[in-house]
């Protein structure tokens, strides 16, 4: 655990040192997020923060390579090369999009290339998490892995709409995934529990910790396309790596971790981004628009339009992310009969907090409008 915590600190410090530098570069180069009708900010803000996050992740990877405890992970040269190529693709495509606002299919092609780099490096979905049905076809393993990477990248990108929201959600979900993958690896092998998924989550958590102080409301810099795609890449690669870990287990060694966790945890960690993504696709498709067209219908927009302040909406969505992700992880080390009732009550409380202000606002609007007059009385 100490080795992973060292990487969290190193990555956080590197990101914290590089983010102000990228902010100055963004200001001088005038790489701003434009103020559009659907956006929540009201002044141009530089958006190269993701470059600092990617550089910090690379620093963390380099430092990790010098730690003896982690040498088993770095012994797989193909996987490391695949990850480095994927990060390079994210940097090139993300910076290009931040500078020139690429067409959606160009970004999609870049995301597919990043997913291919991960899959061709050997990090692949080797078993379907429902029933752990082996995926024997190499082509199918690659296709499923690319799909997972592209889906996760876009989910994180869709939720990146308020100051600190995407970084906070990724930090909360990544920390839960970090604990889960660490516990799972201890279950697999009590003598050598260095694990790629845990390493990637340590880097993600560190990058988010270093970036969030500059990105929380009121934000001084945005992560841009690079940051959203980077977080999605790390999350997806870790989730895919876990499928290989669990596929190698037998029932006896897996007895301390619930069998449904490998499918529940990745979904729980990404529940908020995936929900927002699904609703956006359905909403846009229903009105005949492209699923990739922008609008003001995301969950965070609904909260702000419902009467919450910018900061309150972020805290509410962080609360939902925490309850779902950490509620799922707690099933590993706390009795279900304790976790489920407590989690249920907490979710009800979160639901009350979420709906309270919009309901009050509607009632106030109805009372202000007053009762409608009968036509005859009005005459």
Cβ neighbors of 215 (< 8 A, separation 6 or more) are 49, 163, 164, 167, 221, 222, 223
Q: Which residue has the tokens 């940051």?
A: 227
Whole-angstrom distance, CA of residue 156 vs CA of residue 305: 21
Whole-angstrom distance, CA of residue 262 vs CA of residue 245: 10
Give the three-class secondary structure for 163.
coil
What are the structure tokens assigned to 105, written together? 């299919």
Cβ neighbors of 15 (< 8 A, separation 6 or more) are 52, 53, 55, 56, 206, 207, 209, 210, 211
Whole-angstrom distance, CA of residue 231 vs CA of residue 207: 9
Q: CA angle, corner 51, sides to 228 and 322, nearest 5? A: 40
Contact status, residue 176 vs residue 265, Cβ threshold 8 Å: yes
Give the three-class secondary structure for 32.
strand
Binding-site members for Mg(2+) are 157
How many residues are there in the chain? 379
Cβ neighbors of 233 (< 8 A, separation 6 or more) are 86, 87, 90, 114, 118, 149, 152, 153
Burial (0-12, 13-18, 19+ Cβ within 10 Å), 373: exposed
CB count in 10 Å sphere of residue 227: 32
What is the DSSP track for 195-234?
-HHHHHHHHHHHHHHHHHHHHSSSPS---HHHHHHHHHHH
Binding-site members are 157
Cβ neighbors of 321 (< 8 A, separation 6 or more) are 168, 169, 172, 173, 271, 272
């Amino acid at each position: 655990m100490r080795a992973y915590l060292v990487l969290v600190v190193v990555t956080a410090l590197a990101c914290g040192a590089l983010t102000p530098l990228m902010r100055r570069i963004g200001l001088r180069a005038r790489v701003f997020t434009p103020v559009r009708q659907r956006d929540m900010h009201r002044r141009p803000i530089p958006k190269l923060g993701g470059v600092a996050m990617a550089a910090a992740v690379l620093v963390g990877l380099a430092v990790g390579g010098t730690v003896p405890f982690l040498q088993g992970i770095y012994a797989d040269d193909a996987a490391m090369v695949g990850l480095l190529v994927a990060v390079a693709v994210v940097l090139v495509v993300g910076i290009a999009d931040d500078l020139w606002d690429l067409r959606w299919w160009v970004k999609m092609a870049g995301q597919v290339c990043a997913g291919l780099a991960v899959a061709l490096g050997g990090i692949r979905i080797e078993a379907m998490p429902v029933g752990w049905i082996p995926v024997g076809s190499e082509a199918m393993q690659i296709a499923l892995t690319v799909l997972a990477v592209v889906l996760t990248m876009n989910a994180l990108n869709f939720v990146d709409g308020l100051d600190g929201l995407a970084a906070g959600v990724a930090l909360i979900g990544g920390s839960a995934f970090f604990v889960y993958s660490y516990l799972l690896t201890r279950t697999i092998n009590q003598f050598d529990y260095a694990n790629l998924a845990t390493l990637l989550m340590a880097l993600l958590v560190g990058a988010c910790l270093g970036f969030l102080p500059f990105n929380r409301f009121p934000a001084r810099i945005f992560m841009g396309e690079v940051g959203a795609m980077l977080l999605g890449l790390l999350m997806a690669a870790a989730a895919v790596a876990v499928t290989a870990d669990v596929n190698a287990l037998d029932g006896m060694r897996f007895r301390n971790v619930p069998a449904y966790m490998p499918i529940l945890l990745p979904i729980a960690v990404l529940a908020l981004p995936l929900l927002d993504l699904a609703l956006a696709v359905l909403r846009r498709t229903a009105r005949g628009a492209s699923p990739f067209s922008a609008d003001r219908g995301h969950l965070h927009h609904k909260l702000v339009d419902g009467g919450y302040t910018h900061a309150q909406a972020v805290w509410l969505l962080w609360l939902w992310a925490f309850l779902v992700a950490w509620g799922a992880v707690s099933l590993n080390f706390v009795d279900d009969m304790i976790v489920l009732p407590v989690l249920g009550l907490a979710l009800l409380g979160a639901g009350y907090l979420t709906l309270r202000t919009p309901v009050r606002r509607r009632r106030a609007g109805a009372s202000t409008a007053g009762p409608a007059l009968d036509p005859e009385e009005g005459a």
